[in-house]
Amino acid sequence: MGIPAQWLEALDALLQRRTVRWINFGFRELTNFLIPTSCAVCSRADFRLCPECRSEIQKQLFLPPLPDGHHHYVELPLLAQQLPVSSCGIYGKELARSMLAFKNKQRYFLGSVFAPYVAAVINSSCIPQSDAMSTYIVPVPSSLKAVGKRGYSPVATMLERGMNRGLYASHLSIRPVLHYRARHVFAGAQKLKSGSARRSGKEHFVAERADIPGRPVILVDDVLTTGSTLRQAAMACQKAGYSVSVGVVLALTKPPNQEPEQ
């Protein structure tokens, strides 16, 4: 049974009273005094993410169909093939600052801002399979050192936020089958390493054995720079018996000689 219309009108009238507005204002100011809040991108007071920065981030992220510049191919030399990678956005400006805040400044809530875009690209990238061969969404893991510092894994957080909101097709499920090898488990993030160090050829990941040979997987990471992380992740999954169909990242780093999109 619904709430009577006159009750709703009375509630609207009450909320518009100056006294109630002052109480709300006072409560917000007290909260900001006790627990200061600032925009994760521009540091504007009283907002976790101010309307202007939220709008700019939304302008820099895309839903399918993605622009041509948001598609990339990572070479897999040992398999003599390429891994197609789709990107929700180009790394730069407000998007880059919000991603750094999400990863390094404990702005955990930003995972919910990014989640719909990642989910949409994953859904559109998925090749239909039978129920017995449903597709696994595999996050590229963070090292134990990074998780210990942040308290969470950014990629896994984005995916979980999307799954909790029912944004994924029914034949998709998140499976963290990738892990760092023992000798690399406490190493720093790949992003902090030089290009030559990333391309050193050392295997950083190992994957759990596929429950069904040829199980299709979609690899997901936050940023694509040189492609080394996704390359190693794809190779580990292939060795474990999976079929890596595509990679998805939140943002793609453009080469230095290319201008970022406006």
Beta 205-207 vs 178-180: how paired, if at all? antiparallel
- For residues 32-45, average pLDDT: 78
CA distance 247 to 249: 7
- For residues 108-134, average pLDDT: 89
pTM of the predicted model over 0.85:
no
pLDDT range class, residue 50, cuts 50, 70, 90: very high
Averaged confidence pLDDT in the chain: 84
**Nearest CA-CA partner of 208 in 195, 199, 217:** 217
Structural domain spans, the chain: 5-34, 51-252
Q: What is the pLDDT of residue 148?
A: 80
Residue 261 has pLDDT above 50, yes or no: no
| pLDDT single digits (tens) 151-185 | 889 999 999 999 999 999 999 999 999 999 876 65
179-188 contacts at long range (C-beta below 8 A, 24 or more positions apart): 179/141, 179/205, 179/206, 179/207, 179/208, 180/141, 180/143, 180/144, 180/204, 180/205, 180/206, 181/205, 181/206, 184/143, 185/143, 185/144, 186/143, 186/144, 186/145, 187/143, 187/145, 188/143, 188/145, 188/146
Residue 242 has pLDDT above 80, yes or no: yes
Domain 51-252 CATH (choose: 1.10.3210, 1.10.3470, 2.60.40, 3.40.50)? 3.40.50
Residue 146 has pLDDT above 80, yes or no: yes
Q: What is the pLDDT of residue 197?
A: 46
Q: What is the pLDDT of residue 194?
A: 47
| pLDDT single digits (tens) 84-101 | 999 999 999 999 999 999
The two structure tokens encoding residue 154: 């950014």
Burial profile 40-61: b = 16 or more Cβ within 10 angstroms, e = fewer: bbeeeeebebbeebbebbeebb
